[in-house]
Structure 1
């Protein structure tokens, strides 16, 4: 039964690929504008392994482009997670921090991260730094807002019970607030990693000369839509894997939550 359920996840993607292949081969659009999945796969394979140079000047360079994008995502996302979780806990826990910082945060939050591109290029130049800065902005606010929400919605009965047991404020934060807020924090981390990938691709289109986003934009200029689609698939695949990594970490750290749910259902 489990194997059948797992296999059913591939039915819809397989159907889409079949329809796409059929539509492309029927010739409703020129192959250059809508390359068939088989063509995209062959080009993507050459981009990765470099066997026939159908990807032209980026043949065999996929691993380097992917690593460049992953490095920017990892760096910007890690900085955003560290600062956002710390600041979110402080805003959610201490009222004076909320009154001091949150108005500024709420004014900056609606500003689209892409609008920072001109300033990022002026401040950091054309290199990794503007891309990392934009990734940071894209991941920061989802993580921050979910952390604040998680801290503010901690069950007050838990706090009262811990305080009556003699717990100090630092102990309340460490042993009650953070564990209780962790599901919301991880929800923000998962949203943030998706935003991080979107922003690194945007930054690579305009601010750097390497990575999957740069390859996508460069391929568009040369009307290589098979490479454009291969770039999109690569970004989606890496985004899925990084989200899966965060999800796996969440499952291990929040194993206690599943245990409590099972115990509650049995009782």
Structure 2
């Protein structure tokens, strides 16, 4: 094992590469190598984001002033509503698929046939059923998050050691007790892996959904800013999406550490 492989990296190490890339980007923009209309300098993007977040609404002709917080909240509400629905459906269904052969034979082929269909292909269906409203966006987000959750939960339930099951049955455990006290705890690491993947896809899906299915949120601002040629707003929006996804993933990892205190969890 290489020296230091088992130790945690310094807290600021993860900022080194992004800071270097931003510095190079700023230098190229100031030198005129990168066209400002296509890739604005980070300093301009930072100024735009500040105005977007803290500017006085209704001042001047900039429609984005002071709207950042409500824009992020619109998207976050949709993400967590769809994500919660995906967990509520995907975890119990995944446990049952991994545990029960009849359920696996009946349901799993349908899930595996629907899973390769991209979220963008579901957009016309969502608009036709739900219209241009939140329900269509939440449907797309929940659908995107559902598949990694159910697949990973299924794998975790199937990997339950048979010796544990035999021991529990010898002690008189019922099928319900086996599921709740043996299969589900054993599947928790896989469930948390699936939820992390699902959460990342949920933040991707909200942008896809908001570009077409609703008229608010980060996805809507992203497309609107591109349409009017505000690439500084586009990049500030992309950074906001990345930060929102990163922070929500950190929250999920913190929950995982508490729930799975008996097992190492999360990326180092």
The TM-score range, normalised by the shorter chain, is over 0.9
Q: Distance in 1 between matches of 2:45 and 2:211?
A: 21
What are the within-5 Å matches in structure 2 for residues 1-267 of structure 1? 5-50=10-55, 56-258=62-264
1:179-233: per-residue Cα shift (whole Å, max 9, x none)? 1110000000000000000000011011111001100100001111100000000
Secondary structure of 1:84's counterpart equals helix
Which whole-Å deviations, capped at 9, do the CAs of 1:139-197 have from their partners, x for residues lacking one? 00000000000000111111111111221111111111111110000000000000000
Cα distance, 1:30 vs structure 2: 2.4
Moved more, 2-11 or 147-156: 2-11
Three-state SS of the structure 2 residue aligned to 1:57 is coil
How many angstroms does 1:31 deviate by?
1.4
- Does the 8 Å contact 1:162/1:172 carry over to 2? yes
Which ranges of structure 1 fall in alignment gaps of 5 or more residues? 260-267
CA 1:236/1:258 → structure 2, altered by over 3 Å: closer, same or farther? closer
**SS of match in other structure, 1:18:** helix
CA distance in 2 between partners of 1:40 and 1:171 (Å): 55
Q: Quick check: which one's helix share is greater?
A: 1
Cα deviation digits, residues 8-31 of structure 1 (max 9, x gap): 221111111100100101102321
Distance in 1, Cα, partners of 2:11 & 2:195: 26
Q: Which moved more, 1:105-114 or 1:19-28?
A: 105-114
**What is the TM-score of this pair, normalised by structure 2?**
0.92
Q: Is the 8 A contact 1:55 1:227 kept in 2?
A: no
RMSD: 1.9
Count residues in correspondence.
Answer: 259
